[in-house]
Amino acid sequence: MQYDPAPASEESPFGFDELFFSRTDEAGIIRAGNAVFQRVSRYSWDELLNKPHKIIRHPDVPRAVFRLLWNTIKAGSPIGAYVKNRSKDGRHYWVFAIVTPIEGGYLSVRLRPSSDFFQIIQKVYPALAADERRENLDPDASLALLSGQIQGLGFASYPAFMAAALGRELAARDIVLGRPVDQSLRHLDELRGLADGLLQNAHRMKAAYKQNEIVPMNFRILASQLGQDGDAIGVISNNYVLLSDDMRNVLDLLMRAAYEVQRAINDSYFLLAVARVQCEAANVFRNEGDSTSSSEEMQRLDRQAADYLSRAKLSLTDIAVKTKFRDYCLEMNRLSTGLEVMRVVGKVECSRHVSVKERVDKLLSDLQTFQMEIASALQEIDRINLSIEAETAALIKEEKMAA
């Protein structure tokens, strides 16, 4: 099959209702594909089968993306990424690719992207690829830059980004195709935002704690300067150190739990979205005539979609378990109350020492600001926790109804 050369600026067209499929072995050699893949790539089947999948690679895609992709799938995990491909005649086409490990190789299902995330990536990739060429960056150095850019978009990690991006692409695609809102993905998108809020408030408390770490030492300095008259202030300082240590330990637990919730939500979000796309891809296979498809390829998709759906549901249960932050919140509230009691006692005691009144007032004011910041963050975390529990319950109910 021959095509006339085309300008690189031209796109190789395909519809939002179309999905690409290809299967490779462990070395990335193409073993199967569907008609959409063959048509849009503009290669014949003889030119595609048993050839490296990188035959369609476009130079605008940074090597960092492929390093991330191979690192992930070789570790046995699925990945989603925006990829710009090049067809045989020089045209280009963008996809959001979902690549998943299977026995003996990998499956790739790809859809046409259109979300606001895609608009950002269209600018990020060429610039990073140009940096790679200009500075002769190796893939790992480029990957570090890409990770920094992902974090600059407000995502804690690439898995958090890819889950949000796939969910956003599916929502945008549903709108274009006139489909109803996927309620499960809507609930998961809400949960993702709530998990981000949970982490933000945990970091907020951590930052407030770091800012006030020096307060016990300042109290000790005051006590030593006052000699025997400063014994009471010394006791207050020691009590503050004990409360501060306890607070740091609880904050560490709270931070760890918040990250676990975020990971569980992102895992569930991505797996559920992947299962949906793979089910649709299997149906595309069934309706195609001109492809290398077979019942075996459809069965691979169906099996993996069922496996990912099951894993997503287990992750939902994990979310429900990990939202039990009330013990941590109650403990933080107890410690915060202890700080307030100590602040009041300290104010009374230090009022007797006129020589250090100004310095003491500043320390006690800082302590009050810290306590108020902790109390505000705890109140917000408690609200988020209730919302997570409600959204998780609604999502589990939605999945049971769909089963």
Mean pLDDT by 10 residues, the chain (403 residues): 56 93 96 93 95 94 95 97 95 97 96 95 92 92 93 91 96 96 92 90 90 76 70 73 85 87 91 94 73 73 92 80 72 84 73 68 81 89 87 82 66
Please tell me the distance from the alpha carbon of residue 77 to that of residue 70, in angstroms, as a whole number: 10
Conformational region of residue 51, where left means phi above 0, alpha means psi within -120 to 50, and beta covers everything else: beta
Residue 112 and residue 173 in contact, taking contact as beta carbons nearer than 8 Å: yes
Structure tokens at 91: 């045209």
Structure tokens at 176: 């274009």
Sheet of 20-25, strands arranged across: 30-33, 20-25, 105-111, 92-102, 79-86
Please tell me the distance from the alpha carbon of residue 166 to that of residue 117, in angstroms, as a whole number: 9
Residue 286 and residue 298 in contact, taking contact as beta carbons nearer than 8 Å: yes
Please tell me the distance from the alpha carbon of residue 178 to that of residue 172, in angstroms, as a whole number: 10
Where does 153-182 have alpha helices with state H? 158-176
Handedness of CA 167, 170, 175, 176 (dihedral sign): positive
Residue 222 and residue 359 in contact, taking contact as beta carbons nearer than 8 Å: yes
Nearest to 112 by CA among 15, 180, 185: 15
CA 79: distance to chain centroid? 12
> How far does the chain reach from its first CA to its final CA, in angstroms?
44
Residue 98 and residue 22 in contact, taking contact as beta carbons nearer than 8 Å: no
pLDDT score at 116? 94
Residues 6+ apart with CB under 8 A from 112: 14, 15, 16, 18, 94, 95, 96, 173
Task: Work out the angle at residue 295's Cα, subtended by the Cα atoms of residues 294 and 299, and round it to the nearest 5 degrees.
Answer: 120
Please tell me the distance from the alpha carbon of residue 138 to that of residue 40, in angstroms, as a whole number: 31
Phi, psi angle pair for 50, to nearest 5°: 65, 20
pLDDT score at 2? 47
Residue 301 and residue 362 in contact, taking contact as beta carbons nearer than 8 Å: no
Question: What is the secondary structure of 111-149 as a DSSP string?
Answer: E---SHHHHHHHHHHHHHHHHHHHHT--HHHHHHHHHHH
For the segment 236-246, what is each residue's pLDDT rounded down to a tens digit? 777 777 888 88
What pTM value is reported for the model?
A: 0.86
Residues 6+ apart with CB under 8 A from 8: 86, 90, 91, 92
